[in-house]
Amino acid sequence: MAHPSGNNIDTDLLIVGAGPTGLFAAYYAGFRGMRIAVVDSLPELGGQITAMYPEKQILDVAGFPTVKGRELVEGLVEQAAKAEPVYLLERTAASLTEDEDGVTVGLDDGTSVRAKVVLITAGIGKFSPRPLPAGEGWVGRGLEFFVPSFQPYVGKDVVIVGGGDSAFDWALHLEPVASSVTLVHRRDAFRAHAGTVDAVKASPKVEIVTKAEVSAINGNGTVESVDITVDGEVTTRPAQAIVAALGFIADLGPIQQWGIEVQKRHVVVDSSMRTNLARVFAAGDVTEYPGKVRLIAVGFGEAATAVNNAAVVIDPSAHVFPGHSSEGS
């Protein structure tokens, strides 16, 4: 359930981040009998998946050979609903003070959350897309940074700029619906997964142009064509849609001032997912420890580990492992 701003909230566990890891943590904390509040700076649940990849096929969730991002989030929200979490959306966890009895987190809208434990599941934190140098003034007029829906690209000539996983994933997903897809990258080497690169290269409808850049966007009101520069030579080709998949700038924001040990925008945790603060845990992509692997599946396991260890902090008479969730309601 949502909660109005400007109030004081008392809970057992405050989860900072409403992405997949945070949503699963909410469900599991409910299984452990905790009261839960979840804060996120985005207006919707699901974190990066909802904001950036709702139509993307996700392949690394156990039990699902493939699942759309949107469908995964819908399932996680339904699962978490059993815990009756209080959702505090479009708000940022700004300050944290810790004492012997708990933690007080101040939100940027004036809300104060008193919790016994905080679990950070903030992914990469707040993120903003890296701009396309030639794209100034064209955002919303044919230029976009994310592809939340494929429908707007049906029958269009699409130019995708970038060489990472997002660029190649969107090339694969848009190829069946677009009239044509051109992927432009400034180098002839790619950061994307090799299997995805091979699949794009094998597609007859996707052209890859390397050692190139989109040097200009042309159109009257909306995008009509782009200039692509290769070795100083400029070619113009039709385009009614451009996707700038150049990555994004991530920032943990105020969390970095909470006194938590941070390495390169990641929160350092031990094997119990505890940070250097006794009542603050972390799970998911935000964490750092030797051998860390950043997968959604790993985040789910870390969430359960964090919640189980937090349970003992909340109630010292509790056990770290309560049994399997399939053994009771």
* pLDDT score of 180 more than 90: yes
Please write the tens of the pLDDT for every residue from 54-97. Answer: 777 888 899 999 998 889 999 999 999 999 999 999 899 999 99
Where do the domains of the chain lie, and which CATH numbers do they carry?
8-127+248-327 (3.50.50.60), 131-244 (3.50.50.60)
The pTM is what? 0.76
Least confident of 44-48, 139-143, 274-278: 44-48
Residue 123: band (very low, low, confident or very high) from pLDDT cuts 50, 70, 90: confident
Task: Please check whether residue 25 is in contact with residue 307, taking contact to mean a CB–CB distance below 8 angstroms.
Answer: yes
Average pLDDT for residues 273-283, to the nearest whole number?
A: 97
- Binding positions are 21, 40, 48, 53, 93, 127, 285, 326
User: What's 109's DSSP letter?
Assistant: T
pLDDT digits (tens, 9 = 90+) for 21-33: 999 999 999 999 9
Q: How far apart are CA 80 and CA 24, in angstroms?
A: 6
d(Cα 43, Cα 2) in Å, to the nearest integer? 11
Confidence label for 329 from pLDDT (cuts 50, 70 and 90):
very low
Could you tell me the pLDDT band of residue 2, with boundaries at 50, 70 and 90?
Answer: low
List, as residue ranges, the binding site for FAD.
21, 40, 48, 53, 93, 127, 285, 326
